[in-house]
Amino acid sequence: MTKKITFLGIETSCDETAASVIRENDKGTADVLSNIVSSQISEHKKFGGVVPELAARAHLENIEYIIETALKESKVSLNEIDGIAATAGPGLIVCLTVGLNIGKAIAAFSNKPFVAVNHLEGHALSPGLEYNIRFPYLLLLISGGHSQFLIVKDVNVYEQLGTTIDDALGEAFDKTAKMLDLGYPGGPSVEKFAKLGDKNFFKLPEPIINKAGCNLSFAGLKTAVLRESKKINGEDKLRYNLAASFQDTINKILYKKTKVAVEMFRKKTKKEKFQFIVAGGVAANETIRKNLSTLSSEMNFETVYPNLKFCGDNAAMIAWAGIQRFKKNMTDDFNISAKSRWPLDRDAPYMKGPGLKLL
Ligand code: KG4
Ligand code: ZN
């Protein structure tokens, strides 16, 4: 029997301070022995968004306790751990540095291997914690900072098929919630209040829906929500209608763009049967899951959605990505520093900014 690897993961890239201990199991997935996430929602709520300096301070105040709790709950001593993984980017440098430095320090004094994890790779590989995933697969990564379609060919090997040319999808949800005064964090509250509204009430734009391959754009939609929100005059029913119409428009865009991405995936990989994985915080949205499951039965591919606790930021996914990299000898030395930008596909064109041509 081969030894089952155990890792400690640490995540501080944005507003969640998280630590987790996981161990490989016989099923090819992981036993999550502890998964501690301390959210800073109350800290950022009054500002309606993440304030970097406040987030960094909260990470500093909490990180030791969170790591201690993760170790204690897992009933695994530091001696039994095979390596430490910490998120090194992309994200807020002041936040990343907190988790990265403590991860390096623990690895140094305990003389263990260290893996600097790309947060996006954490999301990309996260379904492997619970499911047997097979490379290559098609990934839709939708979070607060990113919205991308990628072919995941292997650990560390990604091909970007499309990305957002302006806002990330989570950002669009958060801004919509703010404009409609639905509360923070935005995504879950838009989903909640949309249930009370009529999705056909407002006709909103679907930017670049029929062009630019599977690239995405949400800025024009956000502007339209702002324009319509000015007509609402605090009437609850209209706010809920606008939330519902916004979410429905998102679903129409994702349906169409996923269809294009599936066609591109099939053409490039020559694989008819494959797994389509939706990961990242926005993947928690039930209407998006249902919508994409409809497409999967129409186009005959398998969908895999991570458990809700592994959609939003967490350290179990960082530990898992750490184990996968460790097994391929991709460990890091202590000189590595935090990176604010760190694309999974290093050759993908940068799509934001002026001068972009949408064919
Ligand atoms: O992956 P994540 O936790 O952090 C980043 O890496 O950015 O994603 C956070 C994003 C936020 O924008 C949040 O509003 C969104 O995920 N989100 C949702 C839902 N739950 C979280 N968006 C739509 N519907 C949800 N149920
Ligand atoms: Zn994330």
Which of 167, 173, 184 to probe ligand 1 with, by most ligand atoms within 8 A of CB?
173
Q: Is 89 in the pocket of ligand 1 (CB under 6 A)?
A: no
The structure tokens listed for 19 are: 């630590």
Ligand 1 pocket, residue 48 CB under 6 Å: no
Closest protein CA for atom 19 of ligand 1: 187
Residue 184 has what pLDDT?
A: 80
Establish whether residue 186 lines the binding site of ligand 1, counting it when its CB lies within 6 angstroms of any ligand atom.
yes
335 sits in the region (left: phi over 0; alpha: psi -120 to 50; else beta) called: alpha
> Measured from the CB, is residue 312 less than 6 Å from ligand 1?
yes
Which tens digit of pLDDT belongs to each residue from 39-87? 766 665 666 667 777 888 888 899 999 999 999 999 999 999 999 999 9
Paired tokens of 87: 């998120």
Residue 145, ligand 1, Cβ within 6 A:
yes
Q: Is the CB of 83 under 6 A from ligand 1?
A: no
DSSP 18: E
Please tell me the predicted confidence (pLDDT) of residue 45: 65
Q: 293: how many CB neighbours lie within 10 A of its CB?
A: 14
| Contact 280 CB / ligand 1 (< 6 Å) | yes
Residue 1, pLDDT score:
63
The position carrying tokens 């690895």 is 107
Q: Which atom of ligand 1 is nearest to the CA of 185?
A: 14
Tell me the CA distances in angstroms from 143 to 27, 119, 186, 279, 282, one per residue in order. 28, 11, 12, 8, 5
Arch. (CATH architecture) of 6-128+310-327:
2-Layer Sandwich (3.30)
Query: Which ligand number lies closest to the CA of residue 280?
Result: 1
- Using the atom order of ligand 1, give the atom closest to the CA of residue 312: 3
CB 129 within 8 A of CB 310: yes
Q: Spell out where the chain has E strands.
A: 6-11, 16-24, 30-39, 83-89, 114-118, 137-142, 147-154, 157-163, 275-279, 302-304
- Report, at the CATH architecture level, how domain 135-305 is classified: 2-Layer Sandwich (3.30)
Q: Which ligand is nearest to the CA of 312?
A: 1
Residue appearing with tokens 């009430």: 201
Q: What is the distance between the alpha carbons of residues 10 and 355, in angstroms, rounded to a whole number?
A: 39
Q: What is the length of the chain?
A: 359
Q: Quick one: pLDDT at residue 46?
A: 64
Q: Is residue 90 classed exposed, middle or buried when 0-12, 13-18 and 19+ CB atoms within 10 A define those classes?
A: buried
Whether residue 220 has its Cβ less than 6 Å from ligand 1: no
Q: How far is CA 18 from the centre of its chain?
A: 14
CA of 148 to the centre of ligand 2 (A): 13
Where are the chain's structural domains? 6-128+310-327, 135-305
Low-confidence stretches of the chain (pLDDT < 50) are 355, 359
Helix, strand, coil tally for the chain in percent (to 5): 45, 20, 35
Query: Are 139 and 162 within 8 A, CB to CB?
Result: no
* Domains 6-128+310-327 and 135-305 agree in fold: yes
Distance 169 CA to ligand 1 centre (A): 8
